[in-house]
Amino acid sequence: MNILLLGYGKMGKIIGETAASRGHHIVAKINIDNRHELDVLDPSKIDVAIEFSQPDAAFDNISWAISRGIPVVAGTTGWMDKKPVIETLAKNKNTAFFYASNFSIGVNIFFKVNRFLGSLMKDQDSYHVSLEEIHHTEKKDAPSGTAITLAEAIINEIPRINNWTLSDNTSENEQSLPITSKRIDPAPGTHIVRYRSEIDDIEISHTAHNRKGFAVGAVLVAEWIINKKGVLSMDDFLSF
């Protein structure tokens, strides 16, 4: 499989190594310094693009590939206001666009556990829910896309909560879900969901020990997406 890497920072490098170890060919490694090299690439020689760049580059990178009929697997967070435009473009170009805030299989199981716990807690008004996420200092966006995914699931399950806020105050408005973001090296990613009452606390968490799980997940999705069309997600890939 011929893969175009859009974004070649720490994650891009690990994805490239993982893809090569699985017998795939990296057509090009694009970052902010060599984006002009896209102009000389032959789209017909690219099977899939994997996009892990920066929030301010993601939309242009993904647009470039989708416009040329190249399926895209995207993991960059912090640009979600433009995601509907990309989804429409993918449908119009009859190609595939796959986005996930986190490609770790373990995290996606954690998402499912979070949804289930939220459904159990929807009538437990004595519990106040909050989120905490910890990442390395090079992560530009806050809160993380994974934290937002967790928060949206909780909001969908618990009627008394109608939004999330980025805040260090975990005891504020009961209708708002506070998310605390910390940037500490070398943490690759920790997410904690807490339900706290005067009587007890309930807590679930996921901690990544390194970035390998994210890279393996992204490459597995890239292998799976070939010949598929439309807007896809980890629920499609994992079938839950």
Task: Supply the range of the domain harboring residue 227.
Answer: 2-103+212-238
pLDDT, position 170 = 59
Same-domain pairing of 8 and 88: yes
Contact 7, 30 (CB under 8 A): yes
Mean pLDDT of 51-57: 94
Look at residue 226 and tell me whether its pLDDT is greater than 60: yes
Mean pLDDT, the chain, rounded, equals 93
Highest mean pLDDT among 59-63, 99-103, 207-211: 59-63
Q: Specify whether 69 is located in the same domain as 153.
A: no
Q: Kindly state whether residues 141 and 170 are assigned to the same domain.
A: yes
Question: In the annotation, is 135 catalytic?
Answer: yes
Tell me: pLDDT of 61 over 90.
yes
31 and 54 belong to one structural domain? yes
- Residues 39 and 115 both lie in one domain: no
> Predicted confidence band at 218 (pLDDT cuts at 50, 70, 90)?
very high
Together in a domain, 201 and 230: no
What is residue 147's predicted lDDT score, i.e. its pLDDT? 94
Using a 10 angstrom Cβ sphere, with 0-12 exposed, 13-18 middle and 19 or more buried, the burial of residue 107 is buried
The verdict on 12 and 52 lying in the same domain is: yes
Q: How confident is the model at residue 240 (pLDDT cuts 50, 70, 90)?
A: low
Please check the confidence at residue 172 and state whether its pLDDT lies above 60: no
Tell whether 24 and 74 lie within a shared domain: yes
How many CA atoms within 13 Å lie on the side-chain side of 46? Answer: 26
pLDDT of residue 210: 84
Position 90 pLDDT exceeds 70: yes
- In the chain, the percentage of residues whose pLDDT exceeds 70 is 98
Same domain for 85 and 23: yes
Contacts of 101 (CB under 8 A, 6+ apart): 75, 77, 144, 145, 146, 148, 149
**Banded model confidence at residue 173, pLDDT cuts 50, 70, 90:** low
Q: Which among 131, 115, 125 has a CA at the least distance from the CA of 178?
A: 131
Claim to verify: residue 91 and residue 109 sit in the same structural domain: no
Per-residue pLDDT for 142 more than 80? yes
The CATH number given to whatever domain includes residue 14 is 3.40.50.720
Task: Report the CATH number that the domain containing residue 161 is assigned in CATH.
Answer: 3.30.360.10
pLDDT bucket at 187, cuts 50 / 70 / 90:
confident
**pTM of the predicted model as reported, rounded to 2 decimal places:** 0.79
Confidence of residue 6 (pLDDT cuts 50, 70, 90): very high
Q: What is the pLDDT of residues 130-141, one digit of tens each?
A: 999 999 888 878
- The average pLDDT across 80-104 equals 95
Domains held by the chain: number: 2
Torsion, Cα 11 12 18 19, to 10 degrees, reads: 150
Per-residue pLDDT band at 171 (split at 50, 70, 90): low
Per the CB < 8 A criterion, the answer to whether 203 and 193 are in contact is yes
Taking a C-beta distance cutoff of 8 angstroms, is the pair 151, 84 a contact?
Answer: no
Catalytic residue among 135, 191, 209, 212: 135
The residues, any chain, with a CB within 8 Å of residue 148's CB and separated by 6 or more, are: 77, 80, 101, 164, 179
15 with 62, same domain: the answer is: yes
- As a whole number, mean pLDDT of residues 210-216 equals 88
Task: Verify that 92 and 149 share a domain, yes or no.
Answer: no
Catalytic residue among 139, 182, 206, 212: 139
